[in-house]
Amino acid sequence: MRDKPNYDCIIVGGGPAGLAASVYLARLNRHVIVVDEGNSRASLIPRSYNHPAFPDGVPGQVLLDRMHDQAARFGVEYLAARADLLERVGDSFQCKVAGRLLRSRAVIGATGLVDVLPPWPNAKELVRNGNLRLCPICDGYEINGEPVVVIGNNRRAMKEAAFLLSFTDDVTVATLGAEPEGQTPADIRPPIRLLTARLARHEPVPEDRMALEFLGGVAMKAVAVYSALGCMPQSLLAQAIGVKLDEEGRIPTDQHQRTGVRFFYAIGDVVTGLNQLGVAMAQGEIAAVTAHNDLSEAFGNA
């Protein structure tokens, strides 16, 4: 590429990881743009009580709004669109977004992942309202000994059920009619129970709970419900430029968030299995400083 790139770094993904990286890069006097289609998992968080400095908790969208404002104050550009194409050209990258062709020396992938939810039309709304849960690390504390249902039919669901025993001794794994994978009723250790009946009805009830009714007559009036159906890392853009993914489709990195492709860094849920706000933001900070230093070493201040 003969022309000088118009950005030092393109950040693909505007969740907590990408926005944290953008603030650090901007404060290192780097010209940076965030490309984001607006589907951050953080926007679905009803209220996080784990995040430091928010003793009363903070809704995910509120946190994102504050981070957007912070990034804008330091001159970070924001493009609300999907990145359709990313490719390496010479010693730079080019990214096609909403008819524009962005060029940069470095790219930080903060594309996150998508949770597999139960096949309910209102599943995403239930997550946003706190009735359908995705992370027992995040909100298991609020269960306070009450009954829990984990939706899933594989070892992931069983592991999540076992983890939830830290907060309650009333845990049911509901397969919604699917056959258990790699498990038999004999493998289920009390107090965990296995329920394989199909679901007849579900509806939200107060206090972030749900009422469930299964075929065969089993009914639960107010339970905390977790989906353990897995997730899909959004890593195709990285794979297209030669990044080798792990067996789960996530992006392996070193301790400085570098990937196997020079000047391409990865952060947040697309990288790690510990999907926490603080982890994602820390990775964004690390990647930003690493990218700044790598660019300075390779190109000076040009």
| Domain definitions of the chain by residue range | 7-114+231-299, 117-227
Beta-strand ranges (E) seen in 24-99 are: 32-36, 77-80, 83-89, 92-97
pTM: 0.95
| Of 106, 112, 32, residue with least CA distance to 290 | 106
- Classify residue 203 by burial, with Cβ atoms within 10 Å: 0-12, 13-18, 19+: exposed
Q: Which amino acid would we find at residue 161?
A: A
Beta carbons of 109 and 234 less than 8 angstroms apart? no
Question: What is the four-CA torsion angle of 292, 295, 296, 298, rounded to 10 degrees?
Answer: 160
133's enclosing H/E stretch is strand 132-133
Which overall architecture, per CATH, does domain 117-227 show?
Answer: 3-Layer(bba) Sandwich (3.50)
Same fold for the domain at 7-114+231-299 and the one at 117-227?
yes
- Classify residue 254 by burial, with Cβ atoms within 10 Å: 0-12, 13-18, 19+: exposed
Q: What are 282-302's pLDDT values in tens digits? A: 999 999 999 999 999 999 876
- Classify residue 54 by burial, with Cβ atoms within 10 Å: 0-12, 13-18, 19+: middle
- Classify residue 3 by burial, with Cβ atoms within 10 Å: 0-12, 13-18, 19+: exposed
Mean pLDDT calculated for residue range 247-252: 96
The percentage of residues in the chain with a pLDDT greater than 70, rounded to a whole number, is 97
Whole-angstrom Cα distance, residue 133 to residue 129?
A: 9
User: What integer best gives the mean pLDDT of the chain?
Assistant: 95
Q: What are 114-151's pLDDT values in tens digits? A: 999 999 999 999 999 999 999 999 999 999 999 999 99
What phi-psi label fits residue 65: left (phi over 0), alpha (psi between -120 and 50 degrees) or beta?
Answer: alpha
Question: What is the four-CA torsion angle of 135, 138, 144, 150, rounded to 10 degrees?
Answer: 0
Beta carbons of 221 and 209 less than 8 angstroms apart? no
Whole-angstrom Cα distance, residue 267 to residue 281?
A: 8
69's enclosing H/E stretch is helix 60-73
Whole-angstrom Cα distance, residue 94 to residue 105?
A: 9
The confidence band for 188, taking pLDDT boundaries of 50, 70 and 90, is confident
Mean pLDDT calculated for residue range 170-196: 88
| Of 153, 155, 131, residue with least CA distance to 142 | 131
Superfamily of domain 7-114+231-299: FAD/NAD(P)-binding domain (3.50.50.60)
